[in-house]
């Protein structure tokens, strides 16, 4: 039986990965989290969580010893993204782990990728969003380290991850209920969505697939989904009509000076650690808040303007990936979850 370490098991994707892997009898799961509170939150899954710092090899390596495969789901600032990719590979390699499955992002291709984009398209780390650049740099670091090490690397690139607990959904519903929700370009742009369980199905297949070392795989739902398609079930369930929502024209959006300053600082490697740690402390000092729909910014404007559905044929061919949950069923499951969480849902 495989032993699978999940780095970042306290987050949305990591927690659901841990939950689903626990349900599969072919894998023993070892969730790895940053804090005691995150470890305690995983107790209900019936697994022991390990506490480790994914930015420190001496901390992370002991938590990985004994694992066969590691899945990296940890999320954070651009500095954190770059640092944890490097440290996780070094820790895994020193621990003698066979394969690292790294959760990257479709945003390495930009929020509005050009038609024809696929896994073989050239990546740039000179994009405006620092997040995109950090993920590109993390992938390059992993491939460079792989040349020197023995641990295999497989990279998964999801787009907009939906489902129960998704901040994209919860934030939008919260915005609906506070009259602050909006759509861009009337919701006509393509949303490169992937339901959370579909993503985890691809991650699961990547644990043991043959001849996939050093490969990257896009993932997505079977259906071509617009932003209006994504939002409409939740708009209707909250008693509204999508036509009532303000629509913002994103075609000529230009980043504000505040955005340029923020992304410039986040892109700076020299100051990245200082900025990351400072913002992290400020975030911890604030009471936890429920997600909200992001205000219109460069990233959102590009996402709303997307006109191309990213392909996942490579994953179908090399991993045997097929989406296991339809878009409609995924929306229904998410509505059920929202209802359980106390939201007033109309069916």
In this predicted model, what pLDDT tens digit does every residue of 273-326 receive, in sequence order?
666 566 555 555 556 668 889 899 999 999 999 999 999 999 999 999 999 999
Are 33 and 47 in contact by the 8 Å Cβ rule? The answer is no
Are 246 and 183 in contact by the 8 Å Cβ rule? The answer is yes
Average pLDDT in the 7-34 region? 91
Q: For residue 290, what pLDDT is reported? A: 81
**Cβ contacts of 68 within 8 Å, gap of 6 or more:** 2, 3, 4, 97, 98, 99
Are 39 and 45 in contact by the 8 Å Cβ rule? The answer is no
Strands (E), 180-255: 183-184, 190-191, 193-195, 215-218, 225-226, 247-248
Q: What share of the chain is helix, strand, coil (3-state, %, to 5)?
A: 45, 15, 40
Pairing of strands 190-191, 225-226: antiparallel
Average pLDDT in the 212-236 region? 98
Coil, helix or strand at residue 293: coil
Q: For residue 284, what pLDDT is reported? A: 55
Question: 């499955």: which residue's tokens?
Answer: 101
Task: Read off the DSSP letter of residue 306.
Answer: -
Query: Quick one: CA dihedral 1, 15, 87, 315, positive or negative?
Result: positive
Q: What angle do CA 337, 338, 344 make, to 5 degrees?
A: 135
Q: Alpha-carbon distance 130 to 123, whole Å?
A: 14
Q: For residue 279, what pLDDT is reported? A: 57
Are 302 and 110 in contact by the 8 Å Cβ rule? The answer is yes
pLDDT band at 272 (very low <50, low <70, confident <90, very high): low
pLDDT band at 29 (very low <50, low <70, confident <90, very high): very high
Q: Pick the range with the lowest mean pLDDT from 74-78, 135-139, 231-235, 271-275.
A: 271-275
The pTM (predicted TM-score) of the whole model is: 0.94
Q: Alpha-carbon distance 125 to 110, whole Å?
A: 10
Average pLDDT in the 243-261 region? 92
Residue 9 has pLDDT above 90, yes or no: yes
Q: What domains appear along the chain, each with residue ranges and CATH number?
A: 2-166+193-222+309-324 (3.40.50.720)
Within 10 A of 114 (CB to CB), how many other CB atoms are there? 10
Are 119 and 157 in contact by the 8 Å Cβ rule? The answer is yes
Query: Quick one: CA dihedral 158, 95, 35, 285, positive or negative?
Result: negative
């Amino acid at each position: 039986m495989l032993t699978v370490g999940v780095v970042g098991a306290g987050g949305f994707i990591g927690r659901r990965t841990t939950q689903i892997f626990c349900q599969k009898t072919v894998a023993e799961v070892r969730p790895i989290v940053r804090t005691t509170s995150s470890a305690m939150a995983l107790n209900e899954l019936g697994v022991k969580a390990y506490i480790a710092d994914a930015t420190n090899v001496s901390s992370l390596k002991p938590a990985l010893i004994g694992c066969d495969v590691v899945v990296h789901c940890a999320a954070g600032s651009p500095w954190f993204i770059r640092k944890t990719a490097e440290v996780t590979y070094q820790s895994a390699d020193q621990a003698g782990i066979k394969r690292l499955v790294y959760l990257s992002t479709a945003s390495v291709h930009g929020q509005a990728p050009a038609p024809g984009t696929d896994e073989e398209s050239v990546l740039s780390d000179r994009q405006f969003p620092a997040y995109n650049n950090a993920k590109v740099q993390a992938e390059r670091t992993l491939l460079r380290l792989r040349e020197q090490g023995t641990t295999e690397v497989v990279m998964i690139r999801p787009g907009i991850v939906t489902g129960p607990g998704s901040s994209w959904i919860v934030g939008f519903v919260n915005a609906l209920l506070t009259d602050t929700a909006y759509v861009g370009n009337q919701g006509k742009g393509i949303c490169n969505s992937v339901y959370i369980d579909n993503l985890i199905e691809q991650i699961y297949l990547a644990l043991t697939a043959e001849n996939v070392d050093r490969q990257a795989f896009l993932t997505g739902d079977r259906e071509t989904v617009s932003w209006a398609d994504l939002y409409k079930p939740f708009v209707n369930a909250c008693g509204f009509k999508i036509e009532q929502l303000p629509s913002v024209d994103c075609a000529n959006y230009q980043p504000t000076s505040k955005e340029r300053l923020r992304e410039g600082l986040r892109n700076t490697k020299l100051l990245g650690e200082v900025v990351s740690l400072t913002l992290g402390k400020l975030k911890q000092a604030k009471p936890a808040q429920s997600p909200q729909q992001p205000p219109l910014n460069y990233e959102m404007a590009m996402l709303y303007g997307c006109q191309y559905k990213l392909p996942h044929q490579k994953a179908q061919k090399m991993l045997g990936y097929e989406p296991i949950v339809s878009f409609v069923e995924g929306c229904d499951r998410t509505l059920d979850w929202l209802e359980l969480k106390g939201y007033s849902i109309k069916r």
